[in-house]
């Protein structure tokens, strides 16, 4: 799965991290299925589409790729880019298989429970390392994080604009009440 939210036909495929070394290399968290492929899509842009970045993968550090960006030649220039999201046009991404989705495909889908009861709308899809999840804005429940597994989300129908959620036991149960002023947690 690639990442994140589609914005004007753009899909976020990576996030620039901290500088590595003194010559302008940066860590990048790639949201592409093959992390090292992030440089193979051609120039990437920021979310406004005004700045472009030509990446060259130079190595790997833990779960991130190390890249050089054309025109970034020192640590200060690299550090200035820390936190920049990298985007590309959605139509440049490979087609997905039947049970494969880009995170951006999921955002905006209606969510319903297994019995057909409307539940809310998917507002985010992500994976911060603990496994993919979708965030559903659900009236009466607030925002609910649902594991994006076949068991918890047994049906994704992009054409119909919906996902079916079969939440794990306890996911929709009310939590402990927030402590009131003067009470201990």
Q: State pLDDT tens for residues 38-84.
A: 999 889 999 888 999 999 999 998 888 999 999 999 999 999 999 99
- Check whether 87 has a pLDDT greater than 60: yes
106: tokens are: 């999921």
Rounded Cα–Cα distance for residues 153 and 134 (Å) = 9
Domains annotated on the chain, with CATH: 6-91 (2.40.30.60), 103-165 (2.30.30.240)
Q: Rounded to two decimals, what is the model's pTM? A: 0.67
- Check whether 118 has a pLDDT greater than 90: yes
Quote the pLDDT of residue 178. 55
Q: Is 134 exposed, middle or buried, given 0-12, 13-18 or 19+ CB atoms closer than 10 A? A: buried
- Check whether 12 has a pLDDT greater than 50: yes
Confidence of residue 4 (pLDDT cuts 50, 70, 90): very low
Q: State pLDDT tens for residues 147-158.
A: 999 999 999 999
């Amino acid at each position: 799965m690639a990442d994140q939210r589609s914005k004007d036909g753009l899909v976020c495929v990576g996030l620039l991290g901290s500088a590595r070394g003194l010559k302008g290399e940066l860590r990048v968290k790639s949201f592409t299925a093959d992390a090292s492929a992030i440089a193979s899509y051609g120039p990437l842009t920021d979310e406004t589409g005004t700045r472009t970045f030509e990446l060259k993968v130079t190595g790997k550090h833990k779960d991130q790729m190390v890249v050089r960006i054309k025109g970034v030649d020192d640590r200060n220039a690299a550090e200035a880019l820390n936190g920049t999201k990298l985007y590309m046009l959605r139509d440049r991404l490979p087609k997905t298989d039947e049970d494969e989705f880009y995170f951006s495909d999921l955002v905006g889908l209606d969510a319903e429970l297994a019995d057909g009861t409307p539940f809310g709308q998917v507002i985010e899809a992500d994976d911060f390392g603990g496994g993919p999840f979708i965030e559903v804005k659900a009236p009466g429940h607030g925002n609910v994080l649902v594991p994006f597994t076949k068991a918890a989300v047994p049906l994704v129908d992009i054409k119909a604009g919906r996902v079916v959620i079969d939440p794990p036991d306890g996911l929709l149960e009310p939590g402990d009440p927030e402590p009131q002023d003067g009470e201990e947690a």
